[in-house]
Each structure stands twice: as C-alpha cells, then as structure tokens.
Amino acid sequence: MTSLSCLAPSLLPWPQCKSGFSLSQGPGFASSAKRNRRVASNPEAEEESASGGPRLHCDEAGADGLHPVTVGCRQRRDHLESDTRMKSKAHKRIWRVGLISLGCAKNLVDAEVMLGTLLQDGFEVVNDPARADALIINTCSFIDAAQEESVDTILESAAFREAHRRGQALVVAGCLPQRFRSRLRDLLPEVDAFMGVDEVPRVTEIVREALAHRAARLCTDRSGFDPDREGLRDELLRLHETDGNGSGADLRFRPADAPAAARVWVQARPHYIPDYATPRFRLTPSHYAYVKIAEGCNHPCSFCIIPQMRGSHRSRPMDDIVREVRALVAEGVREINLISQDSTYYGLDLRPRRTGPIAAPDRFRAAISELPPEVPTLARLLRRLNALPGEFWIRVLYTHPAHWTEELIRTIAECPKVARYVDIPLQHIHDNMLERMRRETSRAYIEDLLHRIRAGIPGIALRTTFIVGFPGETEGCFEALLEFMRRVRFERAGVFLYSQEEGTRAARMSQQVPAEMKERRRQQAMALQRQICREHNAALVGRTLRVLVEAELQARTPLPVEVRSWEHGLVRDGAKHEGLAPGRWMVARSEADAPDIDGRVYVRGRLPVGEFATVRVVGHTDYDLIARPA
C-alpha cells in the first residue's frame, strides 16, 4: 500500500506507542479491561512536504526530539494536539476527521487505509475529538469483551459529542456493523453512518454523507443524546445476530427507513483487500509496519465468528506485497510484520482449477506439492522478501498448525532476515477438545509438528494461544493441557477464556463451563507459563542478543504488568513488579518478541532509536530482560 507516513517519519515515545491494552499498552501499561485502542494522530513539521503532500505541523516533540506518530489509549484521547492538513484552496472548507481504532493489527491496517484515503481526498486528521467534524470508530467484535469495548466507545463518543461538539458526525466502521448490520441502526440512532469491512476504500464518500446526515439531523432534532437511555447498553451487548454466512441482504445502499435514519453501508460477504496503490497513513512507529498479505478465513473453527465477518480467504498477489515491503524498507522500516487470518494459507486460493478451500493437513500438503512455480505460497513469498536489499526483520504472525510444510520450515531456517519466531495458535491439546473445536489437527500431529519446527529451525521461539473453559472441557482435559505446557515449554503463550459467541457452533454446545471455573483455569495456566518464561529468561543471562531499539524509557514510566489481547488472550498476568535502577534506559525487542504482545529488553545506556543493536543480557524479570550494550 502506498504509505504517506514517509512524509513525516518519526517514533512515538514508548509509553504511548505501546498502546494498548494488548495489541497496545496505554501509558504506564496499567492493568485495564479496556484494550486494543489506537487513536489516530501523526507527526507534523512546519514546512509543507516537498512532494506536494499533506502539510504537517507539530505542537511539541516527544522524548529525544522525536515527534509522536500514534497514541493508543482510552484515557488520553487528548494527549496530543497534532493534526495533519492537506493542501487546499483557501476558499474550500477543510473537514477535520478523528479516528479511534479498536482490535487487532488487521483492523489497524484498515484504519491506516481509511486515514490515507481521507488525507488524499483533502481531509484533515486530528486526534482531539473536540476538534473533529467527524469521528470514525473502527470496531472489533471478535469476542464478547471486544464487543463490549466497541459499544462503550460508541456511547462514550456520542456523549462527548453532545457535551462538546453537537455538529460532529459519528461513523461506526469495522466488524461490529459487519456482524450486526440490520440491528445497529435501530439501537444507535445517534450514529450517522455504519460501514462494513468492504467499504474501507469508500470512506470519503461515507464520511461526507455522514456530515450531511448530521447537519440535517440537527435541523430537525433538538432532543439531544441521552447517555442514560434505559437498557441501551445492555441491549447492545445482547446482540445475537450474525447473518454474514452468505445469507442476509446486502445493505450497502439500503435506503433509510425514516428521514433521520443513518445509512448502513455493508455487504453480506466481504471481498475487499487493499493493494500497493491503496493510500495508507501508518499508525505504527516508523521502525516497524504491518503488511496484510491476505484477508478472510476458510477454517471451520466452532468457536470463531471471523469467517462470517471477514469472508473467505483471499490473497494479495506476491508482486504487490513485494513492492510494498520494498517501499517500506526504503522508508527506514526495520521490521515487517506479515499478517492475515491464516498466513500459512497464503496463495492457495490463487491456484489454478481450485475447487474450494483446503483445511485438513494431508490435503493441504498434497495441494502445495502440486502447485506450479508461478503460484505464490508463504515460503515463496518469504524467499522473495528475504532477497530484498536492506537490514530488516520479517516476522510471520497468525500461522495455522494444519498448514505448515517442510518447505516452510526450511525457508525460515535458510532466510536470515526471517525472525526465528513462530506464532502458531494451538487453542488446546486434548483430542476431544480439538475435535469439538474443529481444529483439523490431533495431539499427535501437533506434537510432531512442534518437534520438526524446533529441530529444523535452531533457536526458534514458539508463541501460541490456548482457550480454557471450552464447552466439554473436563478437569482431565485441562490437566492434559497443563502437562503439555510443562513439557513443550513455549517461549511465549497467551490464554483465552472461552467466549460463547452467538452464531457459532460452540455457542449451541452442551456442557458450557461456569465462568468461575474458566477464570480459575486461566489463572493456573498463566501461573505455569509465567514460571516457564522466567526460566527461559534466566537461561539467557550472559548471552548477547540482537535487538531492535524502540525508544528511550522515561524515568516516570513503570514497567508493564499485565497485557491482554483480543487475539492472544492474557499474555502476561499480574507478575511481580520489578522496577529499574535510576539512570538512562532504552526499550528494545529481540527476535523472539513481536510488537505489543511479547517481552521487552531494557537496556542500560543510550542506543539509536529505530535501529538494530547488540546487547548483553545481565538480568531478567518474569517476562522481560535487562541488558547493557555489548
């Protein structure tokens, strides 16, 4: 995708850059039930871009004189006063738009595309909602907690608008309207437009219509927003409709039922995927980026709603991805994070004479072996990217255990730019659970695969996720999972509580596990994983590591304690807090640490931000390492 971030390359100081509440940690990394939020903002320079692009301005610089790129936290929406302006004739009104992105990295890329499109079309992007003419909330609906945060954000934004800027248009985008498209308009009359995941490239048209809708609404409706409307939030959280399985009407151009009703721009089955030509304004720090290589999912997992929201798997052409990565590396990006719903399935939908999706491991391996050389696969893509000039890491996220091949293992081992890191969600290990989850793998298959990965890629770090409390999970099933964790000793792991999502097979299963038992099991699993992580870290003391330097740690910033993610579960719990000695510290990541969800390396001294460095490990905490420049 064409990135606009090169117009003002910079890095957000660490406490704000690690946004999240999971895919992002907020300031101080405080434990919070709210997570995965990014508020759009960007660096600004006094002079207009020589390329004729946006005019960028900055009110203040961050640590080390660096200008913030993103800010990601619910509590600090007004952290910056920065904005980005497009060139415009003096007589033309410049509309200001703000954006809050919730959820995963794939949702973040959608948000970046929306911002890039709006900037290209003459809008100004602001991160202070009191200054925005329109506010977009890019929602997540993956599990009940994500849906709750989306609902809360919509209601909070509507209340904020009523108090501070009644003329502001409110646009709700992403997975929530995709999933509940025919009901949200009645439940949320305050919203001026709803847009699904296929409508990302039409964001300008939708925002303009939302602005007109809000203006017309104000002329006829003086009643205002009632944030205490009885039962509204509870009713929104009880939404049980999912009609995205190919049935259901296409509501993209559905006319309003009443003059004040917002339009719903949603297609029942999404088909969109961005390409290199798509405008994009990156919201990550300047040294790493997410590259979406595919969209949608073909897997039949009984607990997951994603295929119904995101549609079938569809891959980008390999040449298009290579072109994007080449441009990002030229901008100074040092880490390319490849993302999709199932990265290991990349390219299989582009094979000739395909008759449908392939899920089972044996059928997948057979299909891979028969592919002509011109059909892309993940292994072929990695070799192409590894051959690009420059110093950078390539990190593969979201692999499925059913779709690993010997060629992929050899490729990672033979490509020095590919991080020795595997993100491979397993969800469980007991055969009964795997069957009920419809994971297409068995315990014997998984154990053999992990053995082959570790044997074939020396030094590999394994990251996985598990679901506890799935329907039918007995104490025996759970004990089998704990035994597996003790024996395999994953370097990184997160634990989900099973979320009963309406519209999925698992939601209708008997033997639902009580909430208290699910939480007890998660705590047990996390206590075990915390001990395993501490032992892994202790073994690294005295070794040298290559790290990517993120930022200077501010003296007032506490270390992260708890990290949660919609896609990675609870990835670090309330472990013992261990502070750092006074002095100058840098925050870095090793090959074994993906952005936002994994550990950190705290380095005593000063190192260039956004560059690689070699450090010697001198200590550790439960999840993080302490080091000095080597």
Return the CATH number at 398.
3.30.750.210
CA 158 – CA 162 distance, rounded (Å)? 6
Residue 303 maps to a domain: yes
Please indicate, yes or no, if residue 433 is contained in any of the structural domains: no
Angle between helices 443-456 and 475-488 (to 10 degrees): 10
CATH number of the domain within which 625 lies: 2.40.50.140
Q: Is residue 69 situated within a structural domain?
A: no
Are residues 298 and 265 located together in one domain of the fold?
no
**Residue 194's pLDDT is what?**
96
Tell me: do 188 and 325 sit in the same domain. Answer: no
| One domain, residues 234 and 100 | yes
Of 98, 60, 76, nearest in space to 17 by CA: 76
Please indicate, yes or no, whether residues 207 and 348 belong to a single structural domain of this protein.
no
How distant, in Å, are the alpha carbons of 11, 42, 46, 67, 569 from that of 59?
15, 11, 10, 9, 37
Query: Measuring CA to CA, how many Å separate 309 from each of 90, 109, 181, 295, 324?
Result: 42, 16, 11, 11, 26
Around Cβ 416, how many Cβ atoms within 10 Å?
A: 10
Q: Are residues 108 and 256 in the same domain?
A: yes
- Residue 71, CB-side half-sphere exposure with 13 Å CA sphere: 24
Q: Identify whether residues 398 and 318 lie together within a single domain.
A: yes
- Say which DSSP state 66 is in: P
What's the confidence (pLDDT) of residue 268?
Answer: 86
Alpha-carbon distance 403 to 422, whole Å? 13
Q: Give the residue from 390, 419, 448 where a domain finishes.
A: 419
Report pLDDT for 249. 39
Count of structural domains, the chain: 3
Same domain for 253 and 105: yes
Tell me the β-bridge partners of 569.
565
The answer to whether residues 218 and 316 belong to one domain is no
Question: Are 10 and 554 a contacting pair, CB within 8 Å?
Answer: no
523: in domain: no
Give me the pLDDT at residue 10, please.
27
Tens digits of residue pLDDT in 469-489: 999 999 999 999 999 999 999
Q: Based on the domain organization, do 338 and 219 belong to the same domain? A: no
What pLDDT, on the 0 to 100 scale, is given for residue 566?
63
Measured torsion, CA atoms of residues 71, 73, 79, 81, in degrees rounded to the nearest 10: 50
Whether 617 maps to a domain, the answer reads yes
Continuous H helices in 400-503:
406-414, 431-437, 443-456, 475-488
Q: Which two tokens stand for residue 240?
A: 């049980």
Over the stretch 38-73, which tens digit does the pLDDT of each residue have?
666 443 333 333 333 333 232 333 333 222 233 222
Residues of the chain with pLDDT under 70: 1-91, 221-260, 555-561, 563, 565-567, 574-579
Q: Which two tokens stand for residue 459?
A: 């030094």
- Per-residue confidence (pLDDT) for residue 492, from 0 to 100: 97
CB–CB of 20/596 below 8 Å? Answer: yes
Other CB atoms within a 10 A radius of the CB of residue 76 amount to 16
Q: How many CB atoms lie within 10 A of CB 322?
A: 17
Specify the residue for token string 């619910």.
74
Collect all residues with Cβ–Cβ distance below 8 Å to 186 and sequence separation of at least 6: none
Q: At 186, which CATH number?
A: 3.40.50.12160
> 271: how many CB neighbours lie within 10 A of its CB?
12
Give the end of a domain, one of 357, 390, 419: 419
Same domain membership, residue 251 and residue 308:
no
Q: Which two tokens stand for residue 29?
A: 């990394």
Q: How many CB atoms lie within 10 A of CB 523?
A: 15
CA distance 37 to 104: 9
H/E run at residue 115:
helix 105-120
**Alpha-carbon distance 331 to 557, whole Å?**
29
Classify residue 228 by its DSSP letter: T
Asked if 115 and 247 sit in the same domain, the reply is: yes
Range of the domain at 141: 92-272
Helix (H, G, I), strand (E, B) or coil at 92: coil
Q: Is residue 40 part of a domain?
A: no
Inside any domain, residue 594:
yes
Assess whether 409 and 301 both reside in one domain: yes
> DSSP strand E in 498-562: where?
544-553
Asked if residue 435 is part of any domain, the answer here is no
- In the listed set 376, 398, 419, which residue is the last one of a domain according to the structure? 419
